[in-house]
């Protein structure tokens, strides 16, 4: 199962059954969640979002020497020589000349909305390829601790990975039989060293490539700090605990809600309160027993399919009726944005010093006011900034894990409630996490050792969900308001804003111009 849903689901069961996980399991989960963020965000930026800003074909016109000078002025990243960029350019040229553009086929190359000089485009294309190679290597952290990537393994009560290290070996003839420790599991001394190398590589790539590229590209697109604002309401569930999942004061990402862009007030969020998180289906292809207008807390949630859309193939969906498989989650009736921008704003608003310094540095460097954060590029920049914050935090979790092992604490699993016969007759719990895309939670109701109800409310439903019964738009729809399109047949502006949310779905966006002509844009 995807890491984020695996974490949310085991936490839901742990919450329901009141299971506490050992400190090492908390640290290992934090390392895996942190690694997921850094990996996902880099891939999102280079492989799913960059080509909205980077014109691949324009890179052919770049001067490799000037590209090298540009790259070296931004960063000490080693792959910055004129020869390196000349090689990348030659590869690209060969590809274009072959007539087989593959993944780059039919991009909006040459669109006037592309503003980067050829040298910046070439640098970005080189880093697109570098990032592809880098991401393949850094997944080793997940593979060691979870056995594979994608979809590493987890277990209710802790982590499945046992620690195959015996630092306090009592010596020959004493204590139990210790032979056979090294290599018992992937988390031996070698595995531990590999994890350290991954963390170092993550920090280096973030500092030397991802952060400088974000700033460099953003500098050419400052008008995108003024559009794509969206709702102005932000919410986080909080994550990365240091003293158990029941103590939000120890979270790296705090929990809370910000309303109407007011950073001076953080509202409390309670995932168990039945009047806070509710899901609506007025414009979704579902039915509730209590009718289409009702909102349900996830513990009482229902999932009854009722597709009422047109029979495929179709050109358009009737947006005044049901038009989505997503429900519309609301917090106290309000539409909320979740994700990197919400988290960075929450850290900023709650006085997290490293965040405030980082945000201040970026605003100063780009010479834009703090309001610039509420925008398409603000969202994209927030994703980069939290990657930097997490890359730095990873070392702390690793050091603590090593210190625990050194002190003889090798517990990774709590088996108290492993047997279903030890469970109460009925229980319920919520497992929340901050997924890279935003707040994610699973609600489980357990009766007689079986799941009686299970509901997932995922970040993309908060951001991409359809209108609610009151007609309130979700974050995507709100953010698209007022976008001026240079060419409605090539709506790259829409892609920029939708991709800034890191959508997990292939979603359809319909545009209507003043003459009533409509366009459909599928964004991935």
Q: Does 79 bind another protein (CB under 8 A)?
A: no
- List binders of another protein among 44-63 (CB under 8 A): 47-48, 51, 56
CB-facing half-sphere around the CA of 445: CA atoms within 13 A = 11
- List binders of another protein among 223-262 (CB under 8 A): none
Closest of 207, 47, 220 to residue 118, by C-alpha: 220
**Residue 81 or 276: which CB sits closer to another protein?**
81
For another protein, the binding residue among 82, 232, 309, 396 (CB under 8 A) is: 309
Closest of 229, 161, 188 to residue 378, by C-alpha: 229
Q: Does 199 bind another protein (CB under 8 A)?
A: no
Min. distance of Cβ 317 from another protein in angstroms?
8
Q: Does 186 bind another protein (CB under 8 A)?
A: yes
- Residues in CB range of 60: below 8 A, 6 or more apart: 89, 92, 93, 96, 118
Q: Does 488 bind another protein (CB under 8 A)?
A: no
Q: Does 160 bind another protein (CB under 8 A)?
A: yes
For another protein, the binding residue among 35, 122, 126, 163 (CB under 8 A) is: 163
Q: Does 169 bind another protein (CB under 8 A)?
A: no
Closest of 94, 92, 91, 64 to residue 80, by C-alpha: 64
Min. distance of Cβ 209 from another protein in angstroms?
15
Measure CA of the first residue to CA of the last residue in the chain; give whole Å: 21
Give the integer Cα–Cα distance in Å for 307 and 333. Answer: 25
Q: Does 402 bind another protein (CB under 8 A)?
A: no
- How far is Cα of residue 424 from the mean position of the Cα atoms in its chain? 35
Q: Does 135 bind another protein (CB under 8 A)?
A: yes
Q: Does 285 bind another protein (CB under 8 A)?
A: yes
Give the integer Cα–Cα distance in Å for 52 and 49. Answer: 6
Number of Cβ atoms within 10 Å of the Cβ of 269: 21
**Residue 373 or 394: which CB sits closer to another protein?**
394
Min. distance of Cβ 346 from another protein in angstroms?
27
Q: Does 403 bind another protein (CB under 8 A)?
A: no
Stretch that binds another protein, among 112-120, 127-135, 218-226, 391-399 (CB under 8 A): 127-135
- List binders of another protein among 102-121 (CB under 8 A): 102-108
Min. distance of Cβ 97 from another protein in angstroms?
9
Stretch that binds another protein, among 83-91, 360-368, 388-396, 450-458 (CB under 8 A): 83-91
**Residue 252 or 501: which CB sits closer to another protein?**
501
Stretch that binds another protein, among 135-143, 348-356, 370-378, 389-397 (CB under 8 A): 135-143
- List binders of another protein among 405-434 (CB under 8 A): 410-413, 415, 418-421
Stretch that binds another protein, among 61-69, 147-155, 199-207, 423-431 (CB under 8 A): 147-155
- How far is Cα of residue 497 from the mean position of the Cα atoms in its chain? 16
Number of Cβ atoms within 10 Å of the Cβ of 407: 10
Q: Does 139 bind another protein (CB under 8 A)?
A: yes
Stretch that binds another protein, among 203-211, 220-228, 340-348, 502-510 (CB under 8 A): 502-510
| Strand residues in 11-151 grouped as ranges (E) | none
Min. distance of Cβ 163 from another protein in angstroms?
6
Give the integer Cα–Cα distance in Å for 51 and 149. Answer: 26
**Residue 50 or 373: which CB sits closer to another protein?**
50
Q: What is the CA radius of gyration of the chain?
A: 24
**Residue 115 or 261: which CB sits closer to another protein?**
115
How many distinct helices (H) and strands (E) make up the chain?
Answer: 14, 12
Burial of 280-312, coded b for 16+ CB within 10 Å and e otherwise, reads bbbbbbbbbeeeeebbbbbbbbeeeeeeeeeee
Q: Does 453 bind another protein (CB under 8 A)?
A: no
**Residue 92 or 358: which CB sits closer to another protein?**
92
For another protein, the binding residue among 79, 81, 185, 402 (CB under 8 A) is: 185
For another protein, the binding residue among 87, 207, 287, 392 (CB under 8 A) is: 87
β-sheet with 438-447: strand ranges across: 426-435, 438-447, 450-457
- Residues in CB range of 63: below 8 A, 6 or more apart: 118, 119
Q: Does 510 bind another protein (CB under 8 A)?
A: no
Size of interface with another protein, in residues (CB under 8 A): 93
User: Alpha-carbon dihedral of residues 111, 115, 118, 120, nearest 10 degrees?
Assistant: -130
Q: Does 490 bind another protein (CB under 8 A)?
A: yes
Min. distance of Cβ 171 from another protein in angstroms?
18
Question: Please, what is the Cα angle at 292 between 289 and 298, to 5 degrees?
Answer: 65
**Residue 159 or 233: which CB sits closer to another protein?**
159
Checking 286-289 for CB contacts under 8 A at 24+ apart, the result is 286/327
Q: Does 147 bind another protein (CB under 8 A)?
A: yes
- List binders of another protein among 310-329 (CB under 8 A): 310-316
**Placement of tokens 């807390």 in the chain:** 297
């Amino acid at each position: 199962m995807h890491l984020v849903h695996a974490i949310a689901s085991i936490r839901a069961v742990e919450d329901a059954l009141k299971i506490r996980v050992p400190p090492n399991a908390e640290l290992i989960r934090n390392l895996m969640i942190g690694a997921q963020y850094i990996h996902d965000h880099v891939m999102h930026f280079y492989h799913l979002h960059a080509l909205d800003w980077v014109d691949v074909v324009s890179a052919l016109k770049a001067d490799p020497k000037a590209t090298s000078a540009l790259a070296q002025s931004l960063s000490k990243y080693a792959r910055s020589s004129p020869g390196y960029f000349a090689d990348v350019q030659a590869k690209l040229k060969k590809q274009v000349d072959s007539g087989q553009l593959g993944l780059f086929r039919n991009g909006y190359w040459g669109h006037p909305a592309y503003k980067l000089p050829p040298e910046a485009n070439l640098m970005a294309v080189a880093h697109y390829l570098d990032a592809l190679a880098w991401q393949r290597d850094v997944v080793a952290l997940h593979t060691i601790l979870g056995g594979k990537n994608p979809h590493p393994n987890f277990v209710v009560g802790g982590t499945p990975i046992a620690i195959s290290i015996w630092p306090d070996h009592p010596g020959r003839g004493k204590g139990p039989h210790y032979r056979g420790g090294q290599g018992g599991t992937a988390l031996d001394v070698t595995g531990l060293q590999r994890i350290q190398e991954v963390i170092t590589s993550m920090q280096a790539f973030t500092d030397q490539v991802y952060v400088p590229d974000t700033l460099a590209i953003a500098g050419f697109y400052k008008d995108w700090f003024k559009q794509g604002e969206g709702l102005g309401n932000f919410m986080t569930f909080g994550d990365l605990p240091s003293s158990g999942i029941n103590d939000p004061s120890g979270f790296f990402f705090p929990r809370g809600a910000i309303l109407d862009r007011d950073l001076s007030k953080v509202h409390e969020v309670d995932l168990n309160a039945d009047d806070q998180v509710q899901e609506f289906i007025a414009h979704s292809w579902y039915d509730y027993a209590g009718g289409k207008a009702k909102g349900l807390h996830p513990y009482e949630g229902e999932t009854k399919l009722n597709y009422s859309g047109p029979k495929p193939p179709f050109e358009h969906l009737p947006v005044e009726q049901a038009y989505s498989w997503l429900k519309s989650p609301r917090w106290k009736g309000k539409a909320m944005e979740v994700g990197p921008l919400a988290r960075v704003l929450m850290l900023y608003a709650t006085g997290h010093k490293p965040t405030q310094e980082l945000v201040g540095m970026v605003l100063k460097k780009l010479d834009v006011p703090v309001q610039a954060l509420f925008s398409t590029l603000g969202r994209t920049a927030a994703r980069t900034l939290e990657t930097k914050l997490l890359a730095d935090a990873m070392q702390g979790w690793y050091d603590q894990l090593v210190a625990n092992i050194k002190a003889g604490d090798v517990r990774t699993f709590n088996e108290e409630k492993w047997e279903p016969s030890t469970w109460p007759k009925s229980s319920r719990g919520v497992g929340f996490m901050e997924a890279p895309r935003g707040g994610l939670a699973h609600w489980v109701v357990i009766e007689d050792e079986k799941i009686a109800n299970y509901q997932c409310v995922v970040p993309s439903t908060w951001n991409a969900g359809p209108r609610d019964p009151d007609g309130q738009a979700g974050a995507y729809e709100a953010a698209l308001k007022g976008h001026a399109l240079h060419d409605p047949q090539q709506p790259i502006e829409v892609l920029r804003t939708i991709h800034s949310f890191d959508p997990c779905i292939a979603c359809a966006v319909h545009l209507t111009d003043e003459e009533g002509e409509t366009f459909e844009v599928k964004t991935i």
